[in-house]
């Protein structure tokens, strides 16, 4: 039922879009109707260009997310569990965190040139801070009752961390991973418009140069569908790993 309602809303939006374009005689160069966008999307698909671009984009997201998340997770656990480490690194983190990854584009190109390396760097930055901040928050907001109970039972520091702090912080950590991969997907589109010559972002920029509005929208819709698929997969992983956690989403 929930899926049917979602499909109905999308279908209604497409019908309204088509009606506006045709009844108001909107120029296709400004806003093509969805039927024309669908035709261009199909052409984009059957030529093999869409699968290649989507694969290139997903590869960059995967590599950048693994680098950024792989660095942020242990650092976040360390900072969350150790007050002294938190006090040392937190000022630097708070200084760098507000800087958007897009601001690093000139430096990324200067340091790494063109191609995948600057894209990986920018995507890693985009994924790093959401994972880091959520991990720190998750560890530092663990209920003190759990910690005191484990200490009263004689749990050593290593056991306390892995059996109490880490599981209790897992909902926040997984939320950070979900946000991080979403940000990584946003950053990859920007990076592909600047530093590489393939991928969905590059293809949208190319279409803009030739005023192919239908191809621009076809690329944008593809990005939305892939983003929805990634978020759905992450939500399912969260639900499976957090079966014991009765939040609103799992209720």
Judge whether 236 lies within some domain.
yes
Q: Does 30 map to a domain?
A: no
Q: The domain that contains 102 carries what CATH number?
A: 1.10.3720.10
pLDDT at 243 > cutoff 80: no
Percent of the chain with pLDDT over 70: 93
Q: Could you give the number of structural domains in the chain?
A: 1
Residue-wise pLDDT for 55-81, tens only, equals 999 999 999 999 999 999 999 988 988
Q: How far apart are the first and last CA of the chain?
A: 17
Answer whether residue 70 is part of any domain: yes
Note whether residue 225 is domain-resident: yes
Dig out the tokens for 64 from the structure.
């950048």
211 within a domain of the structure (yes/no): yes
Q: Averaged over 213-221, what is the pLDDT?
A: 89
In a domain, 201, yes or no: yes
Distance separating alpha carbons of residues 15 and 200, to the nearest angstrom: 26
Q: Identify whether the C-beta of residue 79 lies closer than 8 Å to the C-beta of residue 86.
A: yes
Specify the higher pLDDT residue, 37 or 148.
37
Yes or no: say if 192 and 54 are a contact pair by the CB < 8 Å rule: no
Record the pTM: 0.82
Spatial neighbors of 185 by CB under 8 A, at least 6 apart, are 61, 223, 226, 227, 230
- 106 lies in which domain range? 50-246
CA 154 to chain CA centroid, nearest Å:
41
In a domain, residue 234? The reply is: yes
25 within a domain of the structure (yes/no):
no
Tell me what pLDDT residue 248 has.
45
């Amino acid at each position: 039922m929930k899926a049917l309602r979602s499909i109905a809303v999308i279908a209604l939006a497409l019908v309204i879009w088509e009606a506006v374009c045709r009844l108001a005689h909107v120029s296709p160069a400004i806003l093509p109707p969805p039927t024309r966008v669908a035709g261009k999307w199909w052409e984009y698909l059957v030529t093999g260009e869409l699968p290649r671009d989507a694969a290139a984009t997903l590869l960059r997201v995967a590599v950048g997310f693994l680098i950024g998340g792989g660095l942020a997770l242990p650092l976040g656990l360390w900072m969350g569990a150790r007050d002294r480490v938190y006090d040392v690194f937190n000022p630097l983190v708070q200084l760098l965190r507000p800087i958007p990854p897009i601001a690093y584009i000139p430096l990324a190109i200067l340091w790494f040139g063109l191609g995948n390396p600057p894209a990986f760097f920018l995507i890693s930055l985009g994924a790093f801070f959401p994972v880091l901040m959520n991990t720190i928050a998750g560890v530092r907001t663990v209920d003190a009752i759990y910690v005191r109970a484990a200490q009263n039972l004689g749990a050593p520091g290593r056991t306390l961390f892995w059996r109490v702090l880490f599981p209790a912080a897992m909902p926040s950590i997984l939320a950070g991973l979900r946000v991080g991969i979403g940000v990584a997907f946003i950053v990859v589109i920007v990076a592909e418009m600047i530093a590489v010559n393939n991928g969905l972002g590059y293809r949208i920029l190319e279409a803009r140069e030739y005023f192919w509005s239908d191809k621009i929208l076809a690329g944008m819709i593809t990005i939305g569908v892939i983003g929805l698929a990634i978020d759905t997969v992450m939500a399912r992983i969260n639900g499976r790993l957090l079966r014991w956690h009765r939040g609103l989403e799992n209720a």
